[in-house]
Amino acid sequence: MSRFDAVAAARGDRPFDLLIRNVRLVNVFTAEILPSDIGIVGNLIAAVAPANTLGPAENVIEGGGRYATPGFIDGHVHNESSMVTPAEWARVIVPKGTTTVCTDPHEIGNVLGLPGIRYMLQASEGLPLRYYVAGSSCVPAVPSVETAGATIQAAEMAELLSWDRVIAVAEAMDYMGLITQTGNITPIVEKGHEFGVAIQGHAPGVVGPHLQAYLAATGPRGSDHESMMPDEMLEKVRAGMLLFARVSVYMDTSPSLVGAMQQVNDSRLFGFCTDDVFPHDLLREGHLDFGLRRIISHGVDPVRAIQMATINVANYYGLHGHGAIGPGYLADVLLLDDLEAISVTDVIVDGRHVVAGGEWQVPLEQPIPPLLDNTVRLPKLDEADFWPTLDAPDGPMQVNAIDMSQFLTSLKQLELEVSDDRVRLPLPDDICIASVVPRHGQGTTPSLAFLSGYGLQRGAVASTVAHDSHNLVIIGKDPASMLAAARAIAEMQGGFVAVDGDETIAALPLPIAGLMSPDSMADVAAQLQAFAAAVTQLGLPPMIPLTLIILALPVYPMIRLSDKGMVDVATQQLIPIAAG
């Protein structure tokens, strides 16, 4: 038994399995750096003692004065955003120091429901990455205005929370539902209270009485990773929320967070997470190590920053034995050449020396559990489905359109020509058509809207990564190109395509739920880069298709297109195409 042997080694009656000798230990209990040895037996830390005093051991890692920190914990992340399987994700993020994640599988949950979440758990079994799951609470994100592939309500949440490795209720995005104690989210969060787990918050801009109401609803284990401004952060942490710094290339809240931290006298309620990181960013910039570099560069003491990415998050989730280096803790240890640069050289997970000098030391094979069905189940389509009908006499007509020229979209009124009850083609230069095609077998017809300011000059782009319901979103200049894009996507069983007429000029197949690839992250990143380059042929700037994948997200400001139609996010009402 591992604990029995660990105790024996600690008291000196048998050798350690592994000794990490002479490190500068980042002690997250006391916020000190102490020259130390670390003795490991099985998957446990058996003893921590002053440098060069422990031994003997079967195997020795010479620390040589390097820093030793606990393995990093990502407090809120979506595996699916990496577009690869859990094993491939682990292969990339573990060498960067992430040894524990709390992932919210709400992308695959929106496609497949509980079987999708079970798939992620199965696909992560036995990995050298502690893979915990937060039960997705908002599937679909806004039931009244969109259709996902599955629905998670209170009964499903109770089922999820009974599963091994499911440790929290995931981000409660429907904050108005909680504040008003209405909707699916209220009984779902009650299940979290029954199971006694942390309730991840999601409350962008929620302050004042609404914040108090939100926390009265989510209870004493709330958190937030959506705050942008120091004053909002300060109010939240004072109210007892664990505040996650969300740091990635895409979104870096660390300057604000540093501002908030400097105004309080205790940092235990500051945590760390990445949320969504795309494959090319993971490969190029890193994972939590990137965020730690950022927040340290903004003036946070490195030891405090390490606490944020380790013990503070472990305490929030009640992950006892995680997030610190001490006797009796799980043996997840990083060695770093430099504490400010967070340059991880070695990673020990569960007592195994899995990464040395940045290189994997153990095989990392994980069979991909078979998914039963093609998840791209489109209705029968023809060109007419992508040619907007306009109920007006021939001639000019005022229509509502989504203006894409700013990242936060807006409503814009346009004049278009009507001919035989349809918009006259070709469309004016700045205008194109967007469609959300139901891909979960709903059997409904595609929704349609006009876009301005998108830049597309010809052809079409399409994606089944379309947060959060992950229907098929297509933006095209003409119905024929859009139909071609839909057919290409169906053939690949999901992913991204760019088409020019009949020709597919770039494609990234994501056959796992239309969200993930079975291939390596390097391959996926290369295909994404090729996609970004190819779309310049269609008049678009070279881009990773971020605006495409959030066009259908009905909780993201200001105007979105769901499978049911145009959505005014502020009011959660559908907007007709005909203006006025």
Instruction: Report the interface residues with a second copy, using CB under 8 A.
Output: 3-4, 6-12, 27, 29-32, 34, 39, 44-49, 178-181, 190, 193, 196, 208-213, 215-222, 237-240, 264-266, 268-269, 303, 307, 315, 318, 320-321, 324, 326-329
What gap in Å lies between CA 445 and CA 135, rounded to an integer? 31
200: CB partners within 8 A, 6+ apart:
76, 104, 134, 137, 168, 169, 170, 171, 172, 222, 223, 225
- Least distance CB 2 / a second copy (angstroms): 10
Q: Which is nearer to a second copy, 11 or 165 (CB)?
A: 11
At residue 40, the 3 state secondary structure works out as strand
Q: CB of residue 327 vs a second copy: minimum separation in angstroms? A: 4
Smallest separation, CB 501 to a second copy (Å): 54
Structure tokens belonging to residue 147: 């259709």
Report in angstroms how near the CB of residue 552 gets to a second copy at its nearest. 30
Rounded Cα distance, 91 and 279, in Å: 12
Residue 212 beta carbon to a second copy: minimum distance, rounded to whole angstroms: 4
- Helix H, strand E, coil C: the string for 151-198 is CCCHHHHHHHHCCCCEEEEEEECCHHHHHHCCCCHHHHHHHHHHHCCE
**Least gap, CB of 287 to a second copy (angstroms):** 25
Q: Which of 332, 353, 366, 334 is nearest to 126 (CA)?
A: 366
Which parts of 459-520 fold into alpha helices (H)?
479-492
Which of 263/406 has CB closer to a second copy? Answer: 263
Q: Tokens for 14, please give them.
A: 């048998």
Radius of gyration of the chain (CA): 25
Please state whether 211 falls in left (phi above 0), alpha (psi between -120 and 50) or beta.
Answer: alpha
Q: Nearer Cβ to a second copy, position 1 or 408?
A: 1
In the complex, least distance from residue 27 CB atom to a second copy, rounded to whole angstroms: 6
Question: At closest approach, how far in Å is the CB of 404 from a second copy?
Answer: 35
The letter for the amino acid at 464 is T
Q: Which of 337, 276, 336 is nearest to 310 (CA)?
A: 336
Q: Which is nearer to a second copy, 313 or 451 (CB)?
A: 313
- C-alpha distance from residue 318 to each of 54, 196, 219 (Å): 30, 10, 15
Taking the least distance from each CB to a second copy, the nearer of 220 and 426 is 220
Residues 422 and 394: their CA atoms lie apart, in Å, by: 9
CB of 576 to a second copy, least distance (A): 32
When the beta carbons of 217 and 448 are compared against a second copy, the nearer one is 217
Cβ proximity to a second copy: between 31 and 249 the closer is 31
| Helix, coil or strand: residue 476 | strand
Query: How far is the C-alpha of 432 from the C-alpha of 374, rounded, in Å?
Result: 29
Q: Which of 213, 579 has the CB closer to a second copy?
A: 213
How many alpha carbons fall within 13 Å on the CB side of residue 169? 36
The smaller minimum CB distance to a second copy, of residues 113 and 271, is found at: 271
Q: For a second copy, which is the closer residue by CB, 261 or 550?
A: 261
- What is the nearest approach in angstroms of a second copy to the Cβ of residue 572? 18
Q: How far is the CB of 57 from a second copy (least distance, A)?
A: 14
Residue nearer to a second copy on the CB measure, 82 or 315: 315
Query: Long-range contacts: 151-157, Cβ < 8 Å, 24+?
Result: 151/113, 151/184, 152/109, 152/113, 152/114, 152/184, 152/188, 153/184, 153/187, 153/188, 154/184, 154/187, 154/188, 154/190, 154/191, 156/113, 156/114, 157/188, 157/191, 157/192
